Amino acid sequence: MRILISFLIGLFAFFYLGELFHRAFKIRIHSLIGLLLLLLGFLTGFFGRQYVYPPLDTLLATFLLGCGFGLTSYNLLSRRYLISEQIELKFIRRHETLFERFFEILPGALTWIVLTSPFWLSFTLPFAVAYLLIIADVYWLFSSIKNALFIYLGYRKIEWVTKQPWLQKLKADFPITWENYYHLVLIPTYKESLTVLAPAFDAIASCNYPKQKIFLAIGFEEREQKQNPPKIKEAVEYLKQHSKKIVGVFTTIHPFGLQGEVPGPGSNRNWMIRNAVKELSKRNILPEQVLVTTLDADFVIHHEFLAGALHKYLSTPLQIRDKRT
């Protein structure tokens, strides 16, 4: 148990020490130091008894191994390489098949090792099995408590968000800026009936937001048009009847089999965006003035969703906002 604790102390201490140095002093502790600590840990384990009395030599060796493993893991996770990015990338590309096979085997191998460890460890290190079971129980206990706590906090936050008058907040916090923006809602659809689509259309048209600021784009697929023309005609007719509730409705038919495209909602959205940009430019609306929201065909938005989304966007610092968009 003491060996395990000394290893974990070194592991977590140097893992977070690397992050602390990077945040506080803008200095990265090179992974070579981690590799040297690993080597020092092995040397201490083999030759430490000549200089340190047992069991301190074992505890010191496992602590150094934990330090080296923690620092090396931090650098590998944060920088994605150990010593030289170019050399390691060339090596991986040269042995790409071998690495792919190794990482395919790794999850299954680790799973079987963990599942069978209580059996074979009980013959070799029975006390280790007991400690591992206790650690696993404690871990799952705290994990369950954490998950339950975050579920509760998330539910309370959802309740709070849905009760906020986001349009009023938008007008109060950004009295001039918010009027410069339009909403474009994209809904790609394939084989969804009007029973599914109608509630999504109606929710957008009836949301608490100025209707002259809302555009709706519906993207059908050419494959479906050939298979079931009446269904698409029915949906288009329904949209025409309700198109006056918002400033504009764009409908597109995404061609099937375009070169370089993978059939699916992503390529359909791309086709819809291209058409929407042309339609918006005819109305002298710049792309920078449009907040795009893409929804599934069965997604029914909250009546304050559009106002809340724009409020969140404008509340985000400009530097982060520009980076993400």
pLDDT in tens, 245-280: 899 999 999 998 888 888 888 899 999 999 999 999
Indicate whether 33 pLDDT > 60.
Answer: yes
Mean pLDDT over 232-251 rounds to 88
Mean pLDDT over 83-103 rounds to 86
Indicate whether 168 pLDDT > 60.
Answer: yes
Residue 189: pLDDT band by 50, 70, 90 thresholds? Answer: very high
Helix (H/G/I), strand (E/B), else coil: 293: strand
Copy the structure tokens of residue 7.
């290893």
Mean pLDDT over 316-320 rounds to 84
pTM of the entire predicted model? 0.64
- What's phi and psi for 188, nearest 5 deg? -75, 140
Of 4 and 173, which is predicted with more confidence?
A: 173
Give the chain's mean pLDDT. Answer: 88
pLDDT at 260 (0 to 100): 82
Helix (H/G/I), strand (E/B), else coil: 183: strand
Indicate whether 145 pLDDT > 90.
Answer: yes
Helix (H/G/I), strand (E/B), else coil: 295: coil
Distance, in Å, from the CA atom of 120 to the CA atom of 193, rounded to the nearest integer, reads: 56
Distance, in Å, from the CA atom of 186 to the CA atom of 292, rounded to the nearest integer, reads: 7
pLDDT at 170 (0 to 100): 94
pLDDT at 83 (0 to 100): 81
Assigned architecture for domain 166-324: Alpha-Beta Complex (3.90)
pLDDT at 7 (0 to 100): 84
pLDDT at 220 (0 to 100): 92
> Could you state, in order of their start, the residue ranges of all structural domains in the chain?
2-94, 125-163, 166-324
Mean pLDDT over 297-314 rounds to 94
Indicate whether 116 pLDDT > 90.
Answer: no
Residue 1: pLDDT band by 50, 70, 90 thresholds? Answer: low
Indicate whether 323 pLDDT > 80.
Answer: no
Question: Poorest-confidence range of 49-53, 152-156, 248-252?
Answer: 49-53
Mean pLDDT over 66-77 rounds to 88
Mean pLDDT over 77-91 rounds to 83
Indicate whether 124 pLDDT > 80.
Answer: no
Indicate whether 324 pLDDT > 60.
Answer: no
Enumerate long-range contacts of 282-291, CB under 8 Å, 24 or more apart. 283/248, 285/182, 289/180, 289/181, 289/182, 290/181, 290/182, 290/183, 290/184, 290/215, 291/181, 291/182, 291/183, 291/184
Mean pLDDT over 169-186 rounds to 93
Question: Poorest-confidence range of 120-134, 137-151, 271-285?
Answer: 120-134
User: Quick one: which of 187, 208, 209 has its CA closest to 198?
Assistant: 187
